[in-house]
Amino acid sequence: MEDHFIENLAWAALLLPLLAAVAITLGARRAAARLSIGAVTLSFLATLGLFLYLKLSGQTSLAQNSLPWLTIGHFGTPHYLQLSLGVQLDTLSLMMMLVVTGVGLLIHIYSQGYLAGDEGYSRFFACLSLFTFSMLGIVLADNFVMLFIFWELVGVSSYLLIGFWYNKASAADACKKAFLTNRIGDFGFLLGILLVWSTLGAIDFASLKLEINHGGHFAPVATMAGLLIFCGAVGKSAQFPLHVWLPDAMEGPTPVSALIHAATMVAAGVYMLCRVYFLLAAEGSHALEVIAWIGGGTSLLAALIAVQQNDIKRILAYSTLSQLGYMVMAVGTHGPTAAMYHLTTHAFFKALLFLGAGAVIYALHHEQDIWKMGGLRKQLPVTYWTFLVGTLALCGVVPFSGFYSKDSILAQTLKDGSYGLFTIGVVVAALTTFYMARLALVVFGGAARSAAAQHPHEAPPVMLWPLRILAVPSVIGGWIFIEATFAHFFAGAHGAVGHAAEAGGWGEQLLEPFNASPAAAFAGLFAIIVGGALAGGLYWNAATDPLPRRLGFLSRAMANRFYFDELYERVLIPCTHELLAKIAAFLDRWIIGGLAVRGSAGATEFAGRALRLVQSGSLQTYAFLLVGGVAVVIYFLLAR
Amino acid sequence: MLTYLIFLPLLTGLLLCLVPRNYGFFMRLAALAATGVTMLLAVALFLQFDGAPLGPSHAFKFEQQIPWIPALGISYHVGVDGVNIGLILMGAIVAFAATCCAWEIRSREKEFYILLLLMTGGILAAFCSLDLFLFYFAHELALVPTFIMIGVWGRGSDKNLATFQITLYLSLGALVALAGLIALYLRAGAHSFDLVTLMQAAAKQPLPDADQKLIFPLLFLGFGVLISLWPFHTWAPLGYGSAPTPTAMLHAGVLKKFGLYGLIRIALPLLPHAAQAWAGTIAWLCLGNLVYCGFVAMRQKNLNWVIGYSSVAHMGFVFLGIASLNLIGVSGAILVMIAHGFLAALSFGLSGYLEQTTGTLEINEMGGLLRRLPFLGSALLLALFAGCGLPGFANFAGEVTVFFGAWKQFPVVTVLGVWAALVIGGVYMLRAVRGILHGPVPARFAAVQESDWPLRPLPYVLLILPLLLFGFRPSLLTDKIWPAAQSVLAVVTPADAAPPPGPTGPPKTKPARLVEHQP
């Protein structure tokens, strides 16, 4: 009885946003925002209820149930396939759902203000609800195929949202690029699923875990399978080399950027890696090493690029890339706890930063170049203070939440003995502080650099309250036992206990990093001081960016994203896909379509005059003859 | 039941011959009524059909047999099982939708509607038939009108070339297949065209391998041409580009499935050894469809050609499923056939509507039309997304099942097939979206508007609904399909038909824990 109620509650949390999306699409235009917000609120409350129930029951997972979606064959025969849709309720999925629905709810509310008066207002909320539904599906999925289904749905809902202003050429290009880049990752992901299925004979996580723990025949393909599945995360979480879509995705409305970058979509990749961590860490697998270095490389690359961007949203976009690199690196260094911890705190402060950036853009009538801003500290006080909180959290200043989660990752690299990755992590921390300080100083400090920046108007309360609310967890996220919760879950599952697992009260939580891994904590703080000091020296009251002059080519390369987009668009794609397409089209037109068809027509003519008569004659005659031919054949047979 | 289904459109067509030609509107109504009732009958049939596993011999329901040409062992023998029930439903819905879209035909309506009704009857008869001769006869009955329709009511400047090519190609293909069928008749020694009789004979004693090796290529190549198997596919995009919209919908959606249906229904159970010998070849040939035609689709500038090539490419999934010769693959192939029928009809129906609205199908000339044409644009967006295998549409369920079925036998082909499905398909579909629906609106389309007639969206909605329904609940189809597919495969791979082994060996695919929670 109780179990049924819980399952139904979980299904309701998943399906409500879908219902809202369908209702809006079918005509409830007027109530779009109310429906959408109502659905996500109910989802949030349902999740909260489930989470409290889980906490009180003291377990790490609740009953799960699954409905067959597609069944072929008799159970037990070699050709049996059952794909099902099931919800998995455990600490991991419920924490993630809290983040998705909680942060999502605030973004929904904010959008009411940001999108007010837009022509596609109701369409926006329909897409937003669809997006929430897809993301919740990923989080709740208890098997690979369901995960893949919702994975694709997240892809398409992000396509719709990034291309929300589809009449703008740049937005239309950006959504296409995002979808296709993701599809390349999904290619590997689906192959990985097929490989796992054919080796272990299952697709649901619980059975897979059992199979792998029993050892056996997985080891030879473990690395391959792990890397193929990681491909999916590379696409969705925008890791190198598929990172190019994320900054372009800034073409969507700012609340969408906040949603994609903070709580959903890009987080899905990291979440998936943590969900199937048992598979990546299976005996005989070397996938984690590759994953760690891809993550570390991405975080460094993106941080370097962010240093020389001038668009406020693009700076934040590259910062997201860099932070995702951190999380992936944490997974790779055997630290899913640290990865999920950082994912959670990052969701709070990155949503805050994006919504803050949105408030700035709104105030300046859609100006996004930071060098046309300036001096906004006094005119936009709420935005300023909340943005500052977000910045400090992202940089990792004590006692903001970012410090604790980032420290957890750095400590994890040390614990894993990956000193190279630890160094990268510290350098990235310094770079993060540098570019974020640059952003904050240029936008809010100094004097106004354009007419628009002289008379901004603060956003309406419906946009400011989400900022205020998000600022709270951005500050306290580090000492409210988030890490302990995840550590408890992963400890039960994998024996990888994070260093905060046994932490006592709030006070101990506050000082915990300095006790557990002082080297990591002090290195992180040192990096912040270096980065902050450098940025302060260069950008305090600066009118223009001094770096291009000082760095020369390096600065240009950073500003141009190290020419990856150019490499892909001018070299890689034309030399592979486009070239093959050209060859195929040529062959089809001139060889198969030309020679073969005309040749066969010629041969027919050559074969007999009768047929040529038919070809030049009327079509009806020909059709008649065809049926006649059948009759002749029958006559022949009858006569025999 | 089946006979009503088949003869309602045929007889209506014959009756229309008696109506004077200036009663155009009446004829349209009569055709709509006939196909509409047929569609309702098909839905009723689908709902009545329960997919419970069947005995090995009496595999068919709603069976009816009337001797036709007893001297040859030809009879009017119809019946349904899980293989064709979905195809009949699909064919009937597409036929009604195509009749709705025949609105664009404004000349010689009488002949057009008669041909359309003949086609509809032929389609349903072909899918219902359990007699090789009836199958072939019905197929020709449906096929020949397409040639005439393209020739008389066709669109564009290439109409004559298209008529010539499609007629030549498909007639040759049909004749080769006919030769195969007759050879089968002669060699089987049962002196019967009856499929059930032949299957029973084959179950007792299969054809000698030498005969199988002779006949299978004939059937495969003959049917292959009809299905636009690479490299015999060039008629398809040209023909669809020139055909009037209802014809393109019916042909791409339904007629093209005849060949596949023939392969599954006739070639697999009657020629099992040859099928096994050819499986590898079929698997590699399907890449010609999936990858090669996908690449060609990327270069097309006309929407009809993009859809045409993509529809050729999608046939590759079906070939791959058939080539895998196992239950999962073949069931997936049938699922793709049904899904693609709805999808191809939807795509061509929408492109026809688009051409009537804008006067062009050149992708480069259009842009931003989603804003100007909200219903048409959204429906086209759905169709194109279904075409690149988005979950939620029946196509995804079919394609992913095919991949699961083919993975173990043909890993390399499957890898390339997955690339074609996810990446190549995505590229050409999204290019079409970007060119037609997204981007700035060109000045010439600033005032373009879609029809405000409230029933205009009906045919498209009718085609989208089953795509979504079977996309969300594929088990509605697969539960019916797989028991029938199993009996088809019983001869090819006897392992599949074996009763489930007892509790020997650990159950690998399903943990006990999951079973407990199921109601």
Summary mean pLDDT of chain A: 84
Which residues in chain A touch residue B390, judged by CB atoms under 8 angstroms apart? 152-153, 156
Q: Is B400–A145 a contact, with Cβ atoms under 8 angstroms apart?
A: yes
Confidence of residue A609 (pLDDT cuts 50, 70, 90): very low
Q: Which of residues 93-152 of A touch B (CB under 8 A)?
A: 145, 148-150, 152
Distance from the B284 Cα atom to the nearest Cα atom in chain A, whole angstroms: 17
CB B62 within 8 A of CB B2: yes
Tokens of B384: 């194109």
Which residues in chain A touch residue B172, judged by CB atoms under 8 angstroms apart? 600
**What's the pLDDT score for residue B509?**
39
For A181-211, write each residue's pLDDT tens digit.
Answer: 999 999 999 999 999 998 888 888 888 888 8
For A480-529, write each residue's pLDDT tens digit.
Answer: 777 888 888 887 654 444 444 454 566 677 777 777 788 888 888 888 89
Q: Which of A58-67, A70-79, B490-499 is the least confident region?
A: B490-499
Model confidence at A614: pLDDT above 60 = no
Confidence of residue A216 (pLDDT cuts 50, 70, 90): low
Model confidence at B40: pLDDT above 80 = yes
Model confidence at A94: pLDDT above 80 = yes
Model confidence at A450: pLDDT above 90 = no
Which of B172, B285, B430, B477 is the mutation pick for testing A, counting most A CBs within 10 A? B430
Confidence of residue B503 (pLDDT cuts 50, 70, 90): very low
**What's the pLDDT score for residue B515?**
35
Q: Which residues pair with A560 in a beta bridge?
A: none
Model confidence at B163: pLDDT above 90 = no
Q: Which residues pair with A68 in a beta bridge?
A: A84
Model confidence at A463: pLDDT above 50 = yes
Q: Is B430–A198 a contact, with Cβ atoms under 8 angstroms apart?
A: no
A212 alpha-carbon distance from chain centroid:
28
Give the residue among B310, B188, B322 at the shortest CA–CA distance from B261: B322
ipTM of the complex: 0.90
What is the pTM assigned to this prediction?
Answer: 0.90
Which residues in chain B touch residue A171, judged by CB atoms under 8 angstroms apart? 438
- Torsion sign across C-alpha atoms A465, A467, A473, A475: negative
Q: CA torsion A477→A481→A483→A484, rounded to 10°? A: 180
Which of A1, A24, A70, A205 is the mutation pick for testing B, counting most B CBs within 10 A? A70
CB A106 within 8 A of CB A470: yes
**What's the pLDDT score for residue A602?**
57
For B325-383, write each residue's pLDDT tens digit.
Answer: 888 999 999 999 999 999 999 999 999 999 888 888 888 888 888 888 888 999 999 99
Confidence of residue B308 (pLDDT cuts 50, 70, 90): very high
Confidence of residue A601 (pLDDT cuts 50, 70, 90): low
Across the range A588-614, mean pLDDT stands at: 60
Distances in Å between the alpha carbon of B306 and those of A165, A289, B156, B512? 25, 43, 16, 47
**What's the pLDDT score for residue B401?**
93
For B275-295, write each residue's pLDDT tens digit.
Answer: 888 888 999 999 989 999 999
* Any A CB within 8 A of B302 CB: no
Give percent of chain A with pLDDT exceeding 90: 31
Model confidence at A312: pLDDT above 70 = yes
Q: Domain spans of chain B?
A: 279-519
Q: Is B72–A588 a contact, with Cβ atoms under 8 angstroms apart?
A: no
Question: Helix B327-358 vs helix B82-101: angle between axes, to the nearest 10 degrees?
Answer: 0
Q: How far apart, in whole angstroms, are the C-alpha atoms of residue A10 and residue B438?
A: 37
**What's the pLDDT score for residue A152?**
93
Q: Is A183–B479 a contact, with Cβ atoms under 8 angstroms apart?
A: no
CB B255 within 8 A of CB B289: no
Which has more confidence, B360 or A639? B360
Q: CA torsion B140→B145→B148→B153, rounded to 10°? A: -150
Model confidence at B447: pLDDT above 70 = yes
For B188-220, write each residue's pLDDT tens digit.
Answer: 777 888 888 888 888 777 888 888 888 899 899
For B226-252, write each residue's pLDDT tens digit.
Answer: 888 888 888 888 888 888 999 999 999
Q: Which of A62-71, A103-112, A270-279 is the least confident region?
A: A62-71
Q: Is B144–A627 a contact, with Cβ atoms under 8 angstroms apart?
A: yes
Confidence of residue A436 (pLDDT cuts 50, 70, 90): very high
- A529: phi then psi, degrees, rounded to nearest 5: -65, -45
Q: Which of residues 439-458 of A touch B (CB under 8 A)?
A: none
* Any A CB within 8 A of B295 CB: yes
Which of A14, A24, A71, A72 is the mutation pick for testing B, counting most B CBs within 10 A? A72
Q: How far apart, in whole angstroms, are the C-alpha atoms of residue A79 and residue B82?
A: 18
Helix (H, G, I), strand (E, B) or coil at B438: coil
* Any A CB within 8 A of B510 CB: yes
Which has more confidence, A604 or A574? A574
**What's the pLDDT score for residue B514?**
35
* Any B CB within 8 A of A579 CB: no
**What's the pLDDT score for residue A91?**
87
Give percent of chain A with pLDDT exceeding 70: 90
Across the range B176-194, mean pLDDT stands at: 85
Q: Which residues pair with A141 in a beta bridge?
A: A87
Distances in Å between the alpha carbon of B21 and those of B71, B105, B107, B108, B109? 41, 14, 10, 8, 8
Model confidence at A229: pLDDT above 90 = yes
Summary mean pLDDT of chain B: 85
Residues contacting A230, CB < 8 A, separation 6+? A188, A192, A273, A280, A287, A290, A291, A294
Q: How far apart, in whole angstroms, are the C-alpha atoms of residue B498 and residue A427?
A: 63
Which residues in chain A touch residue B292, judged by CB atoms under 8 angstroms apart? 584, 587-588
**What's the pLDDT score for residue A451?**
77
CA nearest B420 in A: which residue?
A187
Q: Is A152–B403 a contact, with Cβ atoms under 8 angstroms apart?
A: no
Across the range B88-96, mean pLDDT stands at: 93
Confidence of residue B498 (pLDDT cuts 50, 70, 90): very low
Model confidence at B504: pLDDT above 50 = no
